[in-house]
Amino acid sequence: MSDIALLPQVEAFLGRHHALFIDGRYVESQGSQTLDVINPATGRVIAQVSDATGGDIDAAVESSRRGFKQWSQAAPAVRGLVLLKLADLLERHREELAQIETCQSGKIIQISRAFEVDQAAHFLRYYAGWATKINGETITPSLPSFAGERYTAFTLREPVGVVVGIVPWNFSTMIAIWKLASALVTGCSIIIKPSEFTPLTILRVAELAIEAGLPAGALNVLTGGGQVGKGLIEHPGTNKVSFTGSVPTGIAVGRAAMGAGLTRATLELGGKNSAGFLRDIDTEVAVNGIIEAGFLHSGQICAAAERFFVHRSQIEPIMDSLAQRLGKLNIGSPLDERTEFGPVTHRQHQQKLGEFFVRARAQNNTIIHGGKLMEGPGCYVEPTIIFANRRDDALLNEETFGPIATFFPYDSEEELLDLMNDTPYGLSASLWTNDLGKALRMVPAIEAGTVWVNMHTLLDPAVPFGGSKSSGIGREFGSAFIDDYTELKSVMIRY
């Protein structure tokens, strides 16, 4: 096993002093606090970034207001073109960006290349296409006239203003791209606040955005902890927050946004997603599906499944076959192209997963496979299969955001639906069956923002995505994002 060599430009980027990205260039923080960026595969500090201060927040917001003024006046075709150029630049710098991402997040290099760069470029191009298609409508007013006068009306879609994009650590580039693409294509400016654990790649993307022709101030990046996000939301100069992260932080963000004078808020939050396997499903198909649904990127995907419901008659063979497959996974360095399963992204997360194992044992859950943190400097966690005893066991109800598949048996399809919906979350779910008619009849009964059939986790820019119940408010992708990034202005005329 051997790691790929880091490109010289990656070594140079990591070795740099990282300032804040404000007004199209790097600007020194007004404070002196820094945050270490740690490679979770090695435990080594690979860079330091600034922890932005209140003064930095003011400077970024001022720049974004100027950026908004200019960018909102750009012709839609120009906005689209800049996003298309940025997509090209991401691809041109594919390996460099992927390597930076893998070094900061521990994501295996193939996932960094395929998702953080290739998919991000596809999303950018999809959004670029919307630039020239965001319109209001003409309306015929409904009331009778008083004295023969006539009325007509139309709506305008106007950019909401300065957006704050708050990003988690699991897909630090792709999720930032979703937010900046939605903002920029509608004519908003945006300040990205990356996760304190993975702040590096988006700084490089911001440089590329300027190279693509984006005016200074249309995209700023402020690194730092949660207080930077809070300060941005509460700043009177920002108009909207697009937040992706955990439910507790999302609720705090929503409160702060409303308290700041009804700042618009889109909340994309956590989940405890179910995958239900109907009786007709073949064991091998089920096992492939569970690996896709639960173990990609070490389970650190908001839409990943964590609760697996299998018919009582099939649960043992499926868990046994899954254990054999997990036992053969190539666990190792994320910079080794043969690695299939890498570390989790940070130490606290690894420790949180360790606590879940302690709780599973305390609740007498059967650990079929894994169930331990792996020794060494890296943040590795064994891929794990747990058989829960009771519906209210912690592992069946709390989001772990890790490589832990918890199983529970069902006897009837009615019970399966009841189990799948027995959660306060509603981000995603999947049904696995050869009987598509049955699946389509069951889909309306499932309480989730996305329901997949015979697949799990794939996000497409054309298909709206977001949570129901406690998993969030608002939708990204498709045309659904337009409502969240524009204000609808009605114009009525008498003649």
Which residue shows structure tokens 């596809």? Answer: 122
Comparing CB distances to ligand NAD, the nearer of 117 and 448 is 448
Q: Which stretch binds ligand NAD (CB under 6 A): 160-168, 282-290, 312-320, 432-440?
A: 160-168
- Residues 217-236 contacting ligand NAD, CB under 6 A: 225-226, 229-230
Task: Give the E-state strand segments of 87-199 in sequence order.
Answer: 138-139, 151-159, 162-166, 189-193
Q: Which of 246, 321, 363, 421 binds ligand NAD (CB under 6 A)?
A: 246
429 is a contact residue toward ligand NAD (CB under 6 A):
no
Comparing CB distances to ligand NAD, the nearer of 49 and 416 is 49
Cα(406)–Cα(291) distance, integer angstroms: 12
Q: Which stretch binds ligand NAD (CB under 6 A): 68-76, 146-154, 239-247, 287-295?
A: 239-247
- Tell me the closest approach of the beta carbon of residue 39 to ligand NAD, in angstroms: 17
CA of 185: how far to CAs of 53, 180, 215, 243, 466, in Å?
Answer: 29, 8, 13, 18, 19
- Tell me the closest approach of the beta carbon of residue 257 to ligand NAD, in angstroms: 9
Q: Are 228 and 131 in contact (CB under 8 A)?
A: no
Q: Which tokens belong to 173?
A: 């580039």
- Tell me the closest approach of the beta carbon of residue 70 to ligand NAD, in angstroms: 27
Kindly compute the dihedral angle of the four CA atoms of residues 219, 180, 189, 239, in this order, to the nearest 10 degrees.
Answer: -130
Pairing of strands 151-159, 138-139: antiparallel
Q: Please say if 292 is a catalytic residue.
A: no
Distance of CA 301 to the CA centre of its chain: 8
Q: Which of 101, 116, 196, 268 is catalytic?
A: 268
Q: Which tokens belong to 62?
A: 């001022």
Q: Which tokens belong to 231?
A: 């300060």
252 is a contact residue toward ligand NAD (CB under 6 A):
yes
- Tell me the closest approach of the beta carbon of residue 193 to ligand NAD, in angstroms: 6
CA of 204: how far to CAs of 11, 346, 383, 457, 492, in Å?
Answer: 13, 21, 32, 27, 46
- Tell me the closest approach of the beta carbon of residue 448 to ligand NAD, in angstroms: 12
- Tell me the closest approach of the beta carbon of residue 240 to ligand NAD, in angstroms: 13
399 is a contact residue toward ligand NAD (CB under 6 A):
yes
Distance of CA 28 to the CA centre of its chain: 28
Q: Are 154 and 138 in contact (CB under 8 A)?
A: yes
Pairing of strands 273-277, 305-311: parallel
* Site pattern 291..320 for ligand NAD (x: CB under 6 A): -----------x------------------
Q: Which of 161, 342, 402, 472 binds ligand NAD (CB under 6 A)?
A: 472
Q: Please say if 379 is a catalytic residue.
A: no
Give the number of residues in contact with ligand NAD, rule: CB under 6 A: 28
268 is a contact residue toward ligand NAD (CB under 6 A):
yes
Q: Which of 13, 130, 357, 401 binds ligand NAD (CB under 6 A)?
A: 401
Q: Which stretch binds ligand NAD (CB under 6 A): 163-171, 181-189, 321-329, 375-383?
A: 163-171
Task: Give phi and psi for 284, each to the nearest 5.
Answer: -65, -40
- Residues 164-183 contacting ligand NAD, CB under 6 A: 166-170
Comparing CB distances to ligand NAD, the nearer of 231 and 289 is 231
Q: Which of 103, 188, 302, 379 is catalytic?
A: 302
Q: Which long-range contacts (CB under 8 A, 24 or more apart) does 256-261 make?
A: 256/230, 257/233, 259/234, 260/233, 260/234, 260/235, 260/236, 261/236
413 is a contact residue toward ligand NAD (CB under 6 A):
no
- Tell me the closest approach of the beta carbon of residue 252 to ligand NAD, in angstroms: 5
Helices 200-211 and 76-92: crossing angle, nearest 10°? 130
Which residue shows structure tokens 């990046």? Answer: 221
List residues near ligand NAD by CB under 6 A.
166-170, 193, 195-196, 225-226, 229-230, 244-246, 249, 252-253, 268-271, 302, 399, 401, 427, 467, 472
Hey, which residues are catalytic here? 268, 302
